[in-house]
Chain A
């Protein structure tokens, strides 16, 4: 095999790895079609889109860099309060709020990354949890700014691009959240297929070899942690803007725990896990709450136990089988 032929094979193989699978196109077409299909469910669809973005954020560090977190709500909350406060006191422009929420969360991620990135999984779980708890109480005690336990009220959002007004049915809200999710997804997809993304997978697989291959492990982890924080901040900003309200609940432990659950349901490390998990989780929550509102936690607990004990392979196997039914595009090449 001559050099140039092998180079062609290498190039093709690398391209194949990043090419769009037909199942992916189908997924996004369905997401777009949800507008027409569920015109009365925009509010829950909006919640799903935001949860999906939040889960995508966790997937970037957990699935691609192997960093566990039980306090990802810290960044959701940071983004939510930042966007909410900006809207209340500075400008009601949604995109400015979105950018601001992402920036402050990214900064928080960068500042806390030295704490999180050292040590083992257990240390990381405890430190991320601790950071989220601290922020919860900080937001609680700064009542003059955040409204404390009453929540941040009096947020009104200007129309997006000065044109699209938020309506009470959540139509604009859902469109906005879904578009932000889609754009950030595209960026994430590009990043995980870059040399940077490859180095993260290397770190996840084997830190010793990554360092021995010239990868500056702590810097790379700090970079993806900050990026993931920005994504969570975007989810928080969307939450604040589309509900026009921020409560301390955004920092609550259950947010972080639910998120872990979402990613366990959907599977980590292929970007769609968070999105599929968010859909499954919200519908599950909705369905259970309809017939037994009080015992929601019981059912979700039972589901979690059964799922992790054996159902996971079953469901993930079903997803894989479904994806495999799509004809491989250009399989002959």
Chain B
């Protein structure tokens, strides 16, 4: 297996606080990799460093061997790093069809076409239809996103990230806040992501982690505490104390 996304000695400080502390990390091709850690462990900061929302204080981020540390958010998306957000970030006045069309049009480089008709672009339409079908959004494609149930919105959040055709997909707590009734469909969506997409899953929910992840990295106070296969990590005494132990108190 080869590494797709890597970080080398990544550090991010906010004033006196070190949110990411010397993290060297590697996401393998086709991985189902979970990033876990107690609240405030720096998981979201780490994702923001990977996607270009934040610039590291020091260290490097590389994608298939190429340095992307200095690249903007949109440049990283174009190179194949897409993400979902812990709290839905959707185009709420649009329909799912419009939102997916937008992402597809950007991916195909149509964004500066001022006079292109959306319904005249066969390639974009085919791709949009493909995404809508894959995420089972056909029946609701013409409804305003803001009016849809939360579970569906969560589904669209993943579909929109996937529509950028990423090689690396970062899922930030995909099932957070989804009611039990809609949860199964969402988990199926995550499970059905194609194998050639490398997935980094940021999660709290142990049930989901042990179902999907083939590898786990535990982040505590911005540092990598340990990394390994789920069964090994689960037995790790330090993890139990730092993470599971703490969680048990809550």
Contact = CB atoms under 8 A, between A and B. Distances in A.
Contact of B113 (A7, A194, A214): A194
Interface in B110-161: 110-119, 121, 124-126, 128-130, 132-133, 138, 141-142, 160-161
Which 9 residue pairs are nearest across A and B when measured between Cβ atoms? A195-B105, A14-B119, A214-B77, A205-B91, A209-B89, A15-B119, A195-B110, A214-B106, A6-B129
A114 B110 CA distance: 24
Interface stretch (A26-34, A215-223, A321-329): A215-223
Given A206-B90, A214-B106, A191 B125 contact: no
B118 A213 contact: no
Given A196-B113, A196-B114, A214-B106, A14 B132 contact: no
A195 B160 contact: no
B201 to A, nearest CB: 17
A223 B114 CA distance: 10
5 contacts: A1-B138, A6-B129, A195-B105, A215-B102, A215-B106
B51 interface: yes
The number of chain B residues touching the other chain, given as a range, is 35 or more
Contacts of B119: 11-12, 14-15, 18
Interface of B: 51, 72-74, 77-78, 82-83, 85, 89-95, 97-99, 101-103, 105-107, 110-119, 121, 124-126, 128-130, 132-133, 138, 141-142, 160-161, 163-164
Interface string A232-275: 00000000000000000000000000000000000000000000
Contacts, number: 142
Contacts of B92: 205-206
Given A195-B124, A198-B98, A205-B91, 11 more contacts: A6-B133, A9-B141, A13-B97, A14-B119, A195-B101, A195-B110, A197-B114, A209-B160, A212-B77, A213-B106, A215-B74
Contacts of B89: 206, 208-209, 212
B190 to A, nearest CB: 18
Interface of A: 1, 3, 6-7, 9-15, 17-18, 190-191, 193-199, 201-202, 205-206, 208-217, 220, 223
